[in-house]
Structure 1
C-alpha cells in the first residue's frame, strides 16, 4: 500500500515517532492513580507533567515557561522580533483511568515539529508557540477547557469560587500551586498577534480505523451542553409501599435516560447519561432522589438545543406521571465551531504530502477539544490520528501505531510550512 511504503521509507520520521511515543509513556507514569493514569488540574501530577514537558520543550530549541493559568508553553522565534505567532498544541491533563494519547499525543507532536524546524535553523514569517493546556477535561472542577479559555481571553473570574470534591476552591488551589488567582487573565494572547491554531489529536472514534486511513482532516467540532439533573420523589420501604403508591425517583431518571437515546437517534445527535446516584441508596429502600448527568452534542447549536428541549419535555412528562419533581442545572456549554478553510487546506496539504492520499478524509469531531475555546481567539484547524483500537478513547486501551504517528509528525510539519508559504507569497497550497 502507498501509506506503508511511505512510512517504511521515512526512517527519521519513525525515529521521531518512537521518541514521541516514549514520551507519552513517560507522562503516563506521572499519575495519581495506582495502576492507571490520572492527572487533574493544579495537582502535584500537573506540576510534574509541566516540569517534564518543559525539559522537552527546551531540548527542542524553545524557551519554556508556565503561564498564569498553569499551562506549559514553549516559544520558538520567527524571522523578525515582531512576527505574529502560530499556535500548536493540545492538553496534558487526563480523565480518571485514561489512555496515554488523548491530548498528550498532540503536545508531543507539536514539540517534535518544532525540534525539526530548529534543527534546520528555520525561521518562518511567524513565531511558533507550543501549548500544553492545563485542564481540558474539567475533572476537578466540572468546568472544561479552563487552560485554553485562559489563553483565549474568555476566563471567567467566577470560576475561582468553584469547589472540588474535597471542598477546595479553585482560588485556593491556584494559590497552593504557586499561582496568583487574580492574575489568571494574564495568560491571554492578543488576537491581533496570532496567525491561527493547529492541533493534532487522536481520533476519539472509529471512522479512520474503519476506513483504513491513518490521518484525517477535522471539519469542525460539535456544540455541547452538559446538565446536572434531579428527580425527586419519596423514599420508602421496599416491601411496605405498594407499587401503585410509589414515587420512585430512579424510575423517572431511567425513563429520561431511555428518552435520551431515542431523541438522539431520531435527531442524529449524541446524548449520554454518564453519572447516576440514588439516595438513600439501600437495596431495600425505594429511591427518593436520583441525581444524573446529561451530555448532549450536535453539529449545530440549534440542533443541540432542539434535542435538549425534546429530552426535557420527556423528563417532565415522566416526572408528572410518577408524581416526581424534576430540576435541571446547566453545568457546561460549548458552541459548535468550524475550522477555518485556509488552515484546513494546510492540514490537507500536510496529509497529502505525508501519506500520498489524493483526497484526505474529512471528519466532524463529536468530542470536544481545546480548539473550541481557542476559536474565540483565532481560527483553527485540526489533524486526527487514527485510533488503532477501533476508536476506544478515555480508556487505557487507547492505541496508536508508530507508523501513524510518524505520518502525523510529517503532516503537521508540512502544514506549518504551508501556512508559512502562504503568508510569504500567497501561493496556493
Structure 2
C-alpha cells in the first residue's frame, strides 16, 4: 500500500497555484522529483563533478563509479542480461531514432514492412515514416478495436514474412491501454521480425522484464519515472547492438583513431559519443532506488485504483466523454476525456485557475486523435503521489468548467 504521506518527498507539490493547493495530474508528460533525486544531483555537482572514464584522479573515479553504477541499476530494473545491453541516451525519442537510423537502415530494404499502430506517440511514428521513405519500405498500421485496445488477431493479420520491424508502445499515453507486448513479440519473431517497444509510459509504473518479454529493443525516459530530464535508456539485445553501427562519432566512443579510419569501443560505449549525460544517469539511478523502495507492484496497484475511481467520478458529469476501455482493469493510470462543446484547452485553463494541472491537446498522437474523431482531448494522469482527494478536486473543477461555459454560451 502506498503511504499517504508520500507527497512529503516531493517539494514541488507543497505549493499553491492561483490560491489553491496544487493537484498535479500530468505525470504522463513528466513526473515530479523526490528529494532523494534532487539531493543526488546536488551531491554529484557539489562533490563528484568530473568527466568519466578518462581520468585517473579521485573525482573522475568517483564520477565513473556513479555513472556505471547507474547503468547496473537500470540493468536490474528491467532485468537485462548484461550492462552491455544498456545504452544511455537523451530519452525515448533519441532511443527510437537511434534504432531506426542504425538498425533500420542496415536491415530494411525496398518492399520490406514496418508495422506500428494508430495509438503510437509521434516519437514512435516519425522515425519509421522517415525510414520507410528512405528505404522504399511499406509502413503498415494495425487497426484498433472500438475501445482502443489491440487484438492479437489483427496483429497476426498484419505481420507477414515481409515484416522486418514491429514497433509498439507498451502503455498508451492517451488511452492508458496496456498492449500485449509479450504475445506481439512472439508473433513478430515467428515471422522473422524484430520487436521494438516504446516503454516510456510503462517503466515508471509497472515491473518490466525485458528477458521475459523477449523484445529486441526497449526504450524509456528518466523524467517520467522521478528522474531528471535529458536522460533515457536504449535496451537492445547484445547480438543486435554488436552488429549495429553508431550514429554519433567523437570522443568516448572510439577505440583507435587513424588518419583515414577508426574503430569503436565495445558495448555499450560505442553508442555514447561525447561527454555522456553523467548527472542525468546519477539522478536516474537515485530514481530507480526510490521506485524500488516504494515497490513497482504497489505503484501499479495504486494507479489502477485511482483510474477506476476517476472513471467512476467523472462518469457522474453529464456531457463528459471518456476515451478508451470502459473496464478500468484494461488501462493504466490515465483517463482522457472531453466535455461536449468545450475545447479541452479551455477546460484545462479553468482547472489551472483552481490549482489543478492536466494536459490538453493532441498529446503527440495526432493519428490517434483522427481515429477518435476529435482534434484534441484533456488528460489526467496519475502517479504514486496522487490520491482520491485529487480526483475529487478534479471532478469539482470539471463541474465548475462545465457550468462556466454553459453560462457563457
Q: Same fold (TM over 0.5)?
A: no
Q: Higher strand proportion, which one?
A: 1
Bigger Rg over Cα? 1
